[in-house]
Amino acid sequence: MLHFACAQVVNALLTQLDLLRKHNNVVILTTSNISEAIDLAFVDRADIKQYIGLPTTPAVYRILRTCLEELERVGIIRDKEKPALVPFQQLLKLIKLKNGSENGLAGDDNHADLRIGQSLLRVAASCEVLNIICSIFFF
C-alpha cells in the first residue's frame, strides 16, 4: 500500500512538472542527500544536473560557528562569560602562536578562545556532512 501511495505522489509531481514546462519563466531548484533514490523520470526532466561536493573543514567550521552565534543571538545559548568564537583564519593564527612559543598566547581570554576554537574545529573535522545533489530545472 505504501509503495502505491509513493508512486501516486511521484506521478502527481511529474505531471505538475510537465505542466510547468509551458512557462518560460520558472526555475525549480531541488536538492537531495539520497540521490540514488530519486526517480529516473524526475532526473530525466532536469535540464541541468549539478553535483555539489562536501564542504571543506574550514567551511564546516564557519557553518557551525554561525549556527552557535545565531543560537546565542536569539537567547537559546546564554553565557556572558563565554570566550569568543573566533573566525577560522584567526583560529589558525592562535594555533600558530601557541605552537610557536610556550608563552605565545598572552592572557586567559586567548587561551579560552583557542580552546573553544580547537573544540569547534575538531567537531568540524569529524562531521559527516551529507552529499547534496542539486538539480535545476529551466522551463
Q: Domain-by-domain residue ranges, the chain? A: 1-139
Res. 134 pLDDT band, cuts 50 70 90: very low
Separation between Cα atoms, residue 74 and residue 76, nearest integer Å: 6
Its pTM stands at: 0.58
Stretch 102-121: mean pLDDT: 70
| pLDDT tens, position by position, 63-91 | 999 988 888 888 887 776 666 788 999 88
For residue 15, what pLDDT is reported? 92
> Does 12 have pLDDT greater than 70?
yes
Res. 119 pLDDT band, cuts 50 70 90: confident
For residue 103, what pLDDT is reported? 54
For residue 5, what pLDDT is reported? 84
- What is each CA distance from 129 to 27, 57, 126, 135, in whole angstroms? 26, 10, 9, 19
For residue 25, what pLDDT is reported? 84
Average pLDDT over the chain, rounded to whole?
78
Is 102 within 8 Å of 132 (Cβ atoms)? no
> Does 100 have pLDDT greater than 80?
no
Closest C-alpha among 40, 28, 13, 17 to residue 135: 28
